[in-house]
Structure 1
């Protein structure tokens, strides 16, 4: 039976859809990522035009793009908007959130816990004590695969990279091209679903000599990838393009484009489960240590959950996540 595991971590909440003993979907929601999809926010029009800009009445006054603003609405006017796509971080640039005008009451929009509950599946709330079910299912290994972009499968591997234009999935391996393409297509769909990859996706298949083989892969993608999506047929060079709705950052974008926040969340998770008494020391590279120190509420929550005083130590010799003990 499929079920969601949900963990309200410090600075980051996590959810994993588990089916047949495997994580098939993984989502995280971090503090400070900006207004969620479905949030209704007050704002002020700061730039008019075909695609206008509204400054949101939130800390830092983030902006959102908004289309369809009537010419009669002047710059400086107060608006109420609903977020339809979260702000996105990309390599080399960031994209502001998208919004639309609304008359709905103000609200923060559904959080990660509420969104997974909407699936109708059982949601199991996890705590920092007892068996670490996420880790038993390979949560850390999953984050490492996302970070590196290397996803092995029987007979080959995927290399996954995200650019401002699209997410690229390259199928690498040896042997029969059709068999490799079928295994690679299955693995690619699993990664797309697991990481909630949206927008434009390009899959580079091994060159298939005949139309029958290419049609077989087309049909396999249609059978495995949940709707809605659009796709092209595989062309003679082995490329297929898939378009999926993109309303929030994918797991790949969250992990890769903010490695400091990624390591900070993993270190805090480790600290929650550290065994012992007395001072709890979190040792991390300077950027991660500074990130945690910049959020004193995280440190206070860690002390509340563990019942131990906590200290964050910067160490230039530390690589990766760091350690807590």
Structure 2
């Protein structure tokens, strides 16, 4: 039976769904981000469709409007999409008027909280670093080919390359794409560019392979004559690809995960952007020093690549 494992780390929490020793779904939660499914007291700032509500210091867009409520009315909203990191800061988090029945999404359950740090790194043993590499590189390999994933403002695009015959490559890629979409937590609009296969029956086989491997809910088009299929699935939080697009924060938090699994005085040599990110969060550095039982020194090393820090 699949099991959720949760790890509370420095600067982020991590949750993975594991089945037969493989991570089949993963998410990263950052501090200060209001989780999807949270109910908040709010005040309506703008009517119409979409409406706009204020909850504390944050504004939430209500794509379906606010019904008969008038501007200034108090209401309870449910967060339906968390704040998505990235360059489009104007995109507000999304919400809807709360259903009297309560939130539509509960936390992952059943879940087992991992001891962290621990002598045995269970998450790493399941391939956590490999998953992060897929997110940062956008490359997911499968027998006979690979997927290349790209973020765009409109959708996540998945390109297929490989050496198998076109139909075999397309079917294998459909299964691999479905697994990658789930593993990396990709939601919203997704486009997959398969190798061109001839005939409607063959295109239906490719779509069926995707349907078999990707759990509902989602909606999709057929594979068109050029090999393109579009699907849409719920987008409630940032995908690992979107987290990785913030390279400094993504790599710095991964570095903290490595650094906390040790003891004593520590010197971190890292790309200047990583050092700057850490220097602007002295609370995390102080917590790291307390957990290690020794002082932590940062050294900017421009010659190092952004994901290749040295710990000594």
TM-score normalised by length of structure 1: 0.86
Equivalenced residue count is 309
Give the counterpart of 2:70 among 42, 58, 73. 73
State the 1:175 CA deviation.
3.2
Q: Matches of residues 37-52 of structure 1 in structure 2 within 5 Å?
A: 37-52=36-51
Which segment drifts farther, 6-15 or 47-56? 47-56
2:67 and 2:2 mapped to 1: Cα distance?
A: 47
1:124 and 1:88 mapped to 2: Cα distance?
A: 25
Gaps of 5+ in 1: none
2:260 and 2:215 mapped to 1: Cα distance?
A: 36
2:66 and 2:168 mapped to 1: Cα distance?
A: 52
1:86 equivalenced with 2:85 (yes/no): no
SS in 1 for 2:136: helix
Q: Does the Cα contact within 8 Å between 2:44 and 2:52 map onto a contact in 1?
A: yes
SS in 1 for 2:275: helix
1:229 and 1:148 mapped to 2: Cα distance?
A: 25
Q: Matches of residues 217-256 of structure 1 in structure 2 within 5 Å?
A: 217-256=206-245
State the 1:194 CA deviation.
0.3
1:222 and 1:101 mapped to 2: Cα distance?
A: 32
1:159 equivalenced with 2:148 (yes/no): yes
Aligned alpha-carbon RMSD (Å): 2.5
Partner of 2:278: 292
The verdict on how the C-alpha distance between 1:226 and 1:285 changes in structure 2, with shifts beyond 3 A counting, is: same
State the 1:48 CA deviation.
4.1
1:97 equivalenced with 2:86 (yes/no): no
Which segment drifts farther, 62-71 or 142-151? 62-71
Partner of 2:296: 310
Give the counterpart of 1:128 among 117, 125, 139. 117
Q: Does the Cα contact within 8 Å between 2:25 and 2:184 map onto a contact in 1?
A: yes
Gaps of 5+ in 2: none
Partner of 2:198: 209
